[in-house]
A and B are shown apart, each in its own frame.
Chain A
Amino acid sequence: MYSILKSIRTTNFLLAALMGLLVYGAVAMPLSPSFRSLSSTALFDWMKTAPLTASWWLYGCVAVLFLLAVNTVLCSIESVLRKRKGRQWLLTTSPQVIHAGFCFILVAHLLSSYGSFHKHAVLYEGYGARMESGVRVHLKEVKSRVESGHVTDMKATVVYTYPDGSTKEATVSPNNPAFVDGTGLYLKRVTTDPVPAALVLFSYDPGALPALIGGVLFITGILTLVVLKLQDKDRPPADTA
């Protein structure tokens, strides 16, 4: 069992299986109305309520990714143990840095799938909403610029009121959210007619930081590997990921 789990043949089989499931999902997703709420719901919450006929491939992906994570860790340990006395330590460690990045990205998706939320709300100028943490957010002002019938710029000023009565003002615009207690406030749309108002998104994603760490590790590892491989004329030795 251990030798199967650590094998690169298993890696290839699992990657192919994952690709098969994702091809099915990519085709099925636009065809089924069940998936419309998926981007606004944490994955595991969505999977609990979605019909199995629509979500089965996602259960498959979770299972394959779990096996792939185990395979990645075992493959890395095996490779480091086998080559620890070799001289080309950068060539040995860079794939393991890539694997570590991949594992961080998987952990990120796991955290996002469990605990993320994304809720839209319409805030009217002069009025506000209460966040789950007890902080109140109040829309102070909205501004937008229209050119040739297209909205080319917009921003909103909001005031946060904390439970202890203290306040903080923030300006949000597209690509420039404001954060309180890890929850981001994103400006999606503004209108001034009939009354000034903003469509905002409250979003919390616990997987964002691990995903960033994973991305940085992945890029660091592969950049090192590319530099080494571009100088190298040999094929990689068999079965040594």
Chain B
Amino acid sequence: MTVFLPAMLYLSSLLWRPLFHAAIIAQVAYVLSRGIALGRLPLVGLHDTLTFLSLATAVFSLPFQRSFKAQRWFLKSAALLAAVFAILGALASPSSSPLPPVLKTYWFEVHVVLSFFSYALFGIGAILGAVYLLSPDPDTEALQYKAILTGYLIFSLSMVFGGIWAFLAWGTYWLWTPKELWTTLLWLTYTLYLHLRFRPWWTGRRIVMTGIAGYFVVLFTYLGVGLLMKSSHSF
């Protein structure tokens, strides 16, 4: 029941806004309790990573909850996205087995935490893009750009930390696995987004849709590769 509480609160916040903050508090409490029980950051397996992604999406939506034209749609979409991840996380069985020695390092923890922070910001970027399509407004597009640019910084930082960890664990900063290729693809997608934005032809709907498309690459890199392909990463 505890595990479903944040999801229910996120969904209820679609009707009564203050419950969004209650959902965040409930989810923080759940993540903390998991961390205390496991004696480590709960960031291994679908259950914990989806829960963390839900929480990160909700928290990173907070700075963007300010006055712009279609703010109402943004708030509802952010709550819905956080709820979807929270429900999927609650449905997945938690992994409580001890960590293999190679994962017992701060490099791993920082790499994973930053990855999910960036995924959350890319999600916020996609929501802002969808909101722009519903109600075109240059401010919304500018907010999408800021969310994606910040996500890109954090994602790049996560890749650098991942490279350092890989060098210390596997003797090389780069491994030829589908996950690494998809991670590079994800990085290239947003690199392309940032460069396309310089071209006048790509203003408005086109650039906004590129930002939305990037999030599908995020979802495939995170969930698709882990579920469909053998890789150095479980998730």
Contacts and interface: CB of A to CB of B under 8 A. Distances in A.
A108 B150 CA distance: 26
A184 interface: yes
B173 interface: yes
B107 A205 contact: no
B199 A205 contact: no
Interface residues of B, number: 52
Given A8-B195, A236-B198, A151 B100 contact: yes
Interface in A150-194: 150-154, 173-177, 184, 186
A222 B156 CA distance: 9
Contacts of A150: 97-98, 100
Contacts of A22: 181, 184-185, 188
A128 interface: no
Contacts, number: 146
B164 interface: yes
Given A39-B177, A238-B198, A174 B156 contact: no
A207 B102 contact: no
A39 B174 CA distance: 9
Contact of A215 (B100, B160, B197): B160
B188 A153 contact: no
Contacts of A238: 198-200
B178 interface: yes
Interface of B: 97-102, 104-105, 107, 142, 145-146, 149-150, 152-153, 156-157, 159-160, 163-165, 167-178, 181-182, 184-185, 188-189, 191-192, 195-200, 203, 229-230
Interface of A: 8-9, 11-12, 15-16, 18-19, 22-23, 25-26, 29-30, 35, 38-39, 108-109, 112, 116, 118, 147-148, 150-154, 173-177, 184, 186, 201, 203, 205, 207-208, 211-212, 215-216, 218-219, 222-223, 225-226, 229-230, 233, 235-241
